[in-house]
Structure 1
């Protein structure tokens, strides 16, 4: 996934995948939590159920569960009717199944297991292994007529004929010039004119080629002729139509310059020598490669480029005003070459391949229609277009424009069962809604326009229903709903308020639901797809954890003093507390990723931090965890509020949270600390540097201190390119405010962080040194990347934070 979102802090319910080395045995259930227990390997808590999927017959479910002590996952199988789950031994794995796809007549199923393709006859149960190869196959799908099983190996597609058992390439793509199609130059023509023997040799060669082409065209049992696509491009994605007639090929320039990448230096290594690793490039140092689309007719053996210059708005310059201001400033400063480099393109470049940020290709079930989703590289537009196969052209169907940036979420799209109607998610109304649009008609919203978001849409096998995830009850409450595919009332199916995901059974009659809660990792249940009581299938929590008393967060609404309405937050405080005046210390925890929702009834990504918040309450603090502006779950305007101004609206919200604690929970305004990691570390630095005196101390973990050195995919969405919009970077980067430091600041960073580079923190530290600042510290961890993995480092990190708060917040003034 190219979009890193500040170190993968997008997972709401899954603990870090890699193992933690346990350094301390958990204390007894009766004892209060201590720091060493909290920061030990989370194996003592339990493990979330991961990646559930239905068996081919729909009677059982498979899921993965992590080992204690390492990152290995075991595969389990459990009956959908209930009962004990079985961990599959290596021998049993040979008879396991993967997530299945089915033909239109539901006569056959196919799945991928250990990278190979398997076929199952549903009537007899007969199972056939289609491939056995060292490279992994993927994307199985059945042809529209059910006679062929299609699958891919990288960007190469194959078809397995069910009747004959023969597998053959659907197309052979060659990214070079056809050596037989090159026209002779002047010298070659002269040679042929001069020497009759050369003419005879050429005539013989041409005869063989003509015969080969005739045989290829007449004999379907032969391998197809290659498509020679030239050496100027390379394939990024290929998609084969279910009828086997067409292939869409996404390309980009073969020699695109990815820009200079910074180095990550490993000081503690197996070899004992310092080692160097290349990381990702900086934002604006080279934009993503523009992508193009080719249409291949596999029957006629022809290729057509699909132009994008007819997309509505593709010739506009949404950055015109900013561009003019920056160009004028550069010209005034005498930087004419830099000014010329900022000239707007006549046609804006796009990306097509789906990568989690919008894009991709979807075929109708019968293969007669294809839809392509495209995204402008400047992040301001998303288009959905159908393909006119007769005219070899894209036909625009929907344009989504955002003056800030198009979300990398809510880009799902596909076809209804009629093969003529598109469905898609869109934030056009300000909130993610589900739409349907006939190719020759107007779009219709299938979900209403109240203030909630829908995601993960799934069309039922019979095509009558859409199932989806929605936070309709409250922004922090997620359940599965369904709506008729023709539109109508949204019906709530689950009642958990903390659904993480779901999957429909093969016949569409049941839902497998992953659900969680603040101290409950994702668990698996099954219920009727129309609603009703669920059957709980798993309990993977450990009693040493569940026997403890943990503080349940209170979901509160903090009034905004800046016109933002209310800011939702989780409040951690002692049981039975009153609103009586007091002089409590407090801490604000700031979640990472920016666009992430931590105020929800689901399990939190921040398991260590949630338990640390319990420890803080035990020590006399109260804690507030806010979904500041820019967070997920609250619609487009909440997300867009930080455009070109990162760290400003969020700080306003955090200061409102502090004021709310002072007013309602007896907090001493001079004894409030703040901490967070990644984007939360960035906000900690912005809080201390842009609002000096408001916080008694702050701990910034792995923080971006200068957005000009972060990655392109995330940063350019929000701040544009630094060459084009330098003022946005200046306004949004903590290093620009270093002179304001007056409150104690602890910075902690993994030295081999290849997401937010440790150089961010080291450069800021150097600025403090040069500015003769006091009360700042840095702690570096030689074996940690962005997402800490090792219990010793977790413990040391939070021991320092605990001591900082004890000295500078709790005991301030003593």
Structure 2
């Protein structure tokens, strides 16, 4: 099977036989609109009967996505015209327990199909986008949501009914005491009678509504100061969990950016976000609604284990003492630790609330706002209280990734991912019982999918090597991992409706994500797509070589991609470029198609011109476990720079690189690291290009910065240590900074502020290039070309090529 998969991958990557050699690479070609490459397969999903797959492809010259269909066993994919697409099966496919009905979402509406007759009913027809359909355990009820509102539909024939009405207002029946009103009631008999009549009418309406299931439900009055941020309905429609926060919570001052090139001809401003520490995220609260008895209960988080601890106590005491010594007592008082740490529902990158299939249990994942703890708690419906089932704590910060969790088919045991061993692994735990490690080892596990019968988990891991990802199966009771695929560049997968096959998105260094199917036993591999264009396929691209760079700082191995000529026997010294990937927590040393595909083509161009290139997964990168991830806690830019300098030393020792002719560049976090490299290690690099860089972490967002550096008011030392602007006086090497003016992630003001600092310091050889119509990720080919033309010229002028 491994040989077969390798052979299929060879077919995808091979250039056409006897084709004329392609012309040498040039900047215009590699920075052109990526339509010339061919679109990656997106959003693949199974048909209801499991015989076909649907997927989307970007339309040439347009952001529009076209819908395609292909047989699961192979054949020619068919692009669906609008009329055919309107009748296609939809995504978010779910089945009832007896497999008599299926539901799916198509173009934002919910559809119900009778699997016996094939009849399909359109349940909703609205401008709103419905989502999250699921069946009750008896199959009689289909539920779905629109925004934060939930609706139910009787499978036997409707109608669509609101499960609950949530009002962000005070209950009008709650009458506030008023001296004058009380006096009038006491004096006038007629007023008393009118009030009694009014109360009787309302009571009668409420009684009729409670007794008649055809009536719209009575509202839950949540309070005028309450804002609903999320809701989750039990499959049987009995319970609802509501996540709320203070409607008046101060989000802090919002930074603006300016659009200079506009349709109106006038400069226009846009609000973006607050800076880190200007106001922490609003704490969230939980309410449990009993829809049968129309009763609301607060779910108190104050009894979660460790919720009253202060993991920052030592740092807090140090900072408070320094502030009081400096006569800043008011600021010191503001840093007092809360008695109970505030929490949020951890639902941004994983489901925050998950019900068991039978609706008898629900689990909620909570995260402390200080980023040090994660809890998975269930709800005791009799006591209307949270019960902690698992606590994960980290002295640095809890990972935003790897928080998937759910229920085993018994509805009484949880499964979840946890980094408690140092690597993200899969665990199960019966309620109130002991956890079982389903996977273990020094590798990462993600994307758990449970088989329909509950006997098997399918997971993606990099067990073979940090850079190689494939699908494995493991019994849900624990045991050995069994490798199913051998693609090595496994991007995503989904299980077929019958649980016998996997739809796989896989890729390689120069092949964007393509669709294949494979049996869960590893047999019957079917390659379904190859979307690359002939001109792109004709190029003889350089396969990056995965290399191990030894750390001189005790970190072990730093994995890297090396781009060099096929003939590496040359002894003459040559220039080199170090590319630094963005995001910090991102893995770029892998065998899949990279997010940095343009940069990879640029590396091919650099090799064509006589350079060699290395691309390193420095500390903080994804894929190497918790310790690698958190090595930068309170010290951003320092361990990573050690790793990059080790990469340079490896190039000099092993690739005949001239140490005086090494350049460095990267975007976002890579731009930040380029600045740290030039400013903290002057003279080590001949030149650097920092694209959309963070220059001062105090102006970045809370969600990222506070994880790693805490709040700036509490930990000013970490921000000073980690911000390039604090080292501006050390600039001595040529530096190019490039930034999109409408970047709403890393604001262009970051680059402008550092530029001004260089002016004040009378520095030389620094430049700034701004792009009026680009955000954080550039989208226009002209901007990509100009950006990389300047980088190319910077290296040619300073690295000797």
TM-score category, normalised to shorter length: over 0.9
Kindly state the Cα deviation for residue 582 of structure 1 after the two structures are TM-superposed: 2.7
Deviations 1:188-217 (A, max 9, x none): 222111101011111111211221222122
Structure-2 residue corresponding to 1:376: 368
Structure-2 residue corresponding to 1:11: none
Q: Distance in 1 between matches of 2:718 and 2:755?
A: 22
Structure-2 residue corresponding to 1:532: 523
Kindly state the Cα deviation for residue 70 of structure 1 after the two structures are TM-superposed: 1.5
Q: Distance in 1 between matches of 2:635 and 2:21?
A: 46
Contact kept in structure 2, 1:359 and 1:374, CA below 8 Å:
no
Pick one of 455, 462, 465 that aligns with 2:456.
465
SS in 1 for 2:281: coil
Moved more, 196-205 or 209-218: 209-218
Kindly state the Cα deviation for residue 353 of structure 1 after the two structures are TM-superposed: 5.2
Deviations 1:386-418 (A, max 9, x none): 110000100011000010000011100000000
Pick one of 165, 170, 176 that aligns with 2:163.
170
Answering whether residue 258 of structure 2 is matched by residue 265 of structure 1, we say yes
Structure-1 residue corresponding to 2:472: 481
* Distance change >3 Å, CA 353–CA 300, structure 1 → 2: farther
Pick one of 135, 140, 154 that aligns with 2:133.
140
Q: Distance in 1 between matches of 2:800 and 2:97?
A: 66
* Matches for 1:323-472 after TM superposition, within 5 Å: 323-352=316-345, 354-356=347-349, 360-448=352-440, 450-472=441-463
Kindly state the Cα deviation for residue 165 of structure 1 after the two structures are TM-superposed: 2.1
Contact kept in structure 2, 1:352 and 1:372, CA below 8 Å:
yes
Aligned residue pairs total 782
Pick one of 500, 512, 516 that aligns with 1:521.
512
Contact kept in structure 2, 1:264 and 1:276, CA below 8 Å:
yes
Structure-2 residue corresponding to 1:495: 486
Q: Distance in 1 between matches of 2:147 and 2:121?
A: 22
Q: Distance in 2 between matches of 1:755 and 1:532?
A: 44
Structure-2 residue corresponding to 1:87: 79
Q: Distance in 2 between matches of 1:214 and 1:664?
A: 83
* Matches for 1:162-201 after TM superposition, within 5 Å: 162-201=155-194
Deviations 1:622-681 (A, max 9, x none): 000000000000000000000000000000000000000000111011110000011001
Structure-2 residue corresponding to 1:543: 534
Deviations 1:696-732 (A, max 9, x none): 0001111000011011111110111111100000000
Deviations 1:574-633 (A, max 9, x none): 00212x643110000000000000000000000110000000001100000000000000
SS in 2 for 1:110: strand
Structure-2 residue corresponding to 1:638: 628
Q: Distance in 1 between matches of 2:539 and 2:156?
A: 60
SS in 1 for 2:798: helix
Q: Distance in 2 between matches of 1:169 and 1:654?
A: 57
Contact kept in structure 2, 1:352 and 1:359, CA below 8 Å:
no
Q: Distance in 1 between matches of 2:761 and 2:203?
A: 78
Structure-2 residue corresponding to 1:124: 117
Contact kept in structure 1, 2:252 and 2:279, CA below 8 Å:
yes
SS in 1 for 2:507: strand
Kindly state the Cα deviation for residue 376 of structure 1 after the two structures are TM-superposed: 0.3
* Matches for 1:209-288 after TM superposition, within 5 Å: 209-288=202-281
Structure-2 residue corresponding to 1:659: 649
Q: Distance in 1 between matches of 2:524 and 2:121?
A: 38
* Distance change >3 Å, CA 28–CA 406, structure 1 → 2: farther
Q: Distance in 2 between matches of 1:514 and 1:147?
A: 35
Q: Distance in 1 between matches of 2:774 and 2:215?
A: 54
Unaligned runs of 5+ in 2: 1-18
Contact kept in structure 2, 1:112 and 1:138, CA below 8 Å:
yes
Contact kept in structure 2, 1:148 and 1:160, CA below 8 Å:
yes
Moved more, 124-133 or 29-38: 29-38
Q: Distance in 1 between matches of 2:603 and 2:430?
A: 51
Kindly state the Cα deviation for residue 223 of structure 1 after the two structures are TM-superposed: 1.3
Moved more, 136-145 or 681-690: 136-145
Contact kept in structure 2, 1:435 and 1:445, CA below 8 Å:
yes
* Distance change >3 Å, CA 58–CA 533, structure 1 → 2: closer
Q: Distance in 1 between matches of 2:450 and 2:302?
A: 32
Kindly state the Cα deviation for residue 29 of structure 1 after the two structures are TM-superposed: 5.1
Pick one of 548, 554, 570 that aligns with 1:563.
554
Q: Distance in 2 between matches of 1:33 and 1:71?
A: 26
Structure-2 residue corresponding to 1:10: none
Q: Distance in 2 between matches of 1:329 and 1:508?
A: 61
Structure-2 residue corresponding to 1:113: 106
Kindly state the Cα deviation for residue 343 of structure 1 after the two structures are TM-superposed: 0.5
Q: Distance in 1 between matches of 2:181 and 2:137?
A: 48
Kindly state the Cα deviation for residue 181 of structure 1 after the two structures are TM-superposed: 3.0
Kindly state the Cα deviation for residue 533 of structure 1 after the two structures are TM-superposed: 4.1
Deviations 1:132-188 (A, max 9, x none): 111111111111211111111111111111223211111111111111232543322
Structure-1 residue corresponding to 2:6: none
Kindly state the Cα deviation for residue 31 of structure 1 after the two structures are TM-superposed: 1.0
Structure-2 residue corresponding to 1:703: 693
Answering whether residue 283 of structure 2 is matched by residue 290 of structure 1, we say yes
Pick one of 307, 321, 326 that aligns with 2:314.
321
Contact kept in structure 2, 1:351 and 1:359, CA below 8 Å:
no
Q: Distance in 2 between matches of 1:249 and 1:671?
A: 59
Moved more, 421-430 or 328-337: 328-337
Deviations 1:406-431 (A, max 9, x none): 00111000000001000000000000
Kindly state the Cα deviation for residue 298 of structure 1 after the two structures are TM-superposed: 0.6
Deviations 1:348-392 (A, max 9, x none): 000015111x66111000000010100000000000011100001
Q: Distance in 1 between matches of 2:480 and 2:347?
A: 31
Moved more, 461-470 or 202-211: 202-211
Q: Distance in 1 between matches of 2:69 and 2:287?
A: 43
* Matches for 1:8-87 after TM superposition, within 5 Å: 30-87=22-79
SS in 2 for 1:215: helix
Structure-2 residue corresponding to 1:745: 735
Structure-2 residue corresponding to 1:17: none
Answering whether residue 763 of structure 2 is matched by residue 783 of structure 1, we say no
- Cα RMSD (Å) of the superposition? 1.1
Choose between structure 1 and 2 for higher RCO, CA contacts under 8 A separated by at least 6 residues.
1
SS in 1 for 2:632: coil
Structure-1 residue corresponding to 2:301: 308
SS in 1 for 2:586: coil
Contact kept in structure 1, 2:141 and 2:236, CA below 8 Å:
no
* Matches for 1:725-764 after TM superposition, within 5 Å: 725-764=715-754
Structure-1 residue corresponding to 2:706: 716
Q: Distance in 2 between matches of 1:783 and 1:402?
A: 41
Structure-2 residue corresponding to 1:20: none
SS in 2 for 1:641: helix
